[in-house]
Structure formats: structure tokens, C-alpha cells
Amino acid sequence: MWLMLLIIYTIVVAYALDYLHYRCGVRRDLKPSNILLDANMVAHVGDFGLAKIFSLELSDANKSSSGHVRGTIGYAPPKYGLGNEVSPSGDIYSYGILLLEMLTGKKPVDSMFREGLSLHSHATSALAGDFVLQIADPMLLRDDVKEGSLISLLEIGVRCSSEYPQD
């Protein structure tokens, strides 16, 4: 049951990102606290912690500023720290990190991730070493979970959270 809810949740969030990018031209600070579930368990994406007053010129809303990093540490792609423009690929990166967090139960800023280890590299190693069940959140393993489903979701999370958008 938990894995099925996770799959539905990630699909709904992906549809929301698609809508925001291609119908609204809006970028979000995608992280767990910006996704709310309604009474029917339908996910809604918002931007609550970094609410901004948008200027009349929408082009200014997506430009980078050397004064601050856009997004939340751990969820924002590394390129944002270099002053690059906010882009749909940044939201895809955040989506990948969000998915990896839901699958592993580990936050991207967990104390275990230091000295070059990250949530992305942790998941990549689990895929390569064939130990996906060992890094999965134990709550997901309570039901009769198909390892193939976890592997597929983990692969999506790893690909989306690649440091290089072209990957």
C-alpha cells in the first residue's frame, strides 16, 4: 500500500511540474514541505517558504542573483549555487532528490552525507551494487513490495537528480 501511494504521489507531482513549466512558466522550490496532500491524498505543489513578491516583469523572476541561492539546500541543483538561471531542469533535479528522499527515508542534508557522499551517490551505489532493499525506507518494505518497482523508482530519482541536466 505505501509503495502504491508513493507511486501515485510522484506521478501527481510530476504532472504538477509539467503544468507549472509548460502552461504557467513558473518554477518552484520543490521539497517535501511545499507539497501538500488534500483529503483525497491528491498532491498539490506550492512555494510556501520562499514566497516572493513577483515584479511585473516575469523575466526578472527567473533570473539569478548573486546575492542569494534560489531554492533550498539539498534540493536545489548545484548549478544554482554558481549563479546560473533558474530553469525547468532545476525543478527536475529537485524532483529526483524528493523521490530519493521518499524511497530511502533520508533527507539530502542528513549527517551521513558528507565528504563527497550525497543522497544521489548513495542511491547510485545501491543500484550498481544491487542492494536497493537495504537502503529503502523500512516503511515501504512492510507490504509485499516488488523489488523491481523500487529499482525503477530509484532509477528515475537518480536520473532526475544528476548534476548535469543533459544526463
Plot region of 133 (φ>0 → left; ψ -120 to 50 → alpha; else → beta)? alpha
| Number of domains present in the structure of the chain | 1
Q: Residue 57 falls within a domain, yes or no?
A: no
Q: Residue 88 falls within a domain, yes or no?
A: yes
Q: Residue 60 falls within a domain, yes or no?
A: no
Residue 83, domain CATH: 1.10.510.10
Q: Residue 8 falls within a domain, yes or no?
A: yes
Predicted TM-score (pTM) of this structure? 0.76
Q: Residue 141 falls within a domain, yes or no?
A: yes
Q: Are 137 and 119 in contact (CB under 8 A)?
A: no
Which pLDDT value is given to residue 116? 82
Just list the catalytic residues. 29
Report how far apart, in Å, the C-alpha atoms of 11 and of each of 17, 95, 98, 107, 115 are. Answer: 10, 11, 12, 20, 33
Tell me the per-residue pLDDT of 48-86, one tens digit each, with 9 for 90 and over: 554 443 433 344 545 544 444 456 778 777 765 455 566
Tell me the per-residue pLDDT of 85-136, one tens digit each, with 9 for 90 and over: 666 778 888 889 999 999 999 998 888 988 888 999 999 999 999 899 999 9
Identify the helix (H) or strand (E) that includes residue 4.
helix 2-19
Tell me the per-residue pLDDT of 95-106, one tens digit each, with 9 for 90 and over: 899 999 999 999
- Domain range holding 129? 2-52+71-160
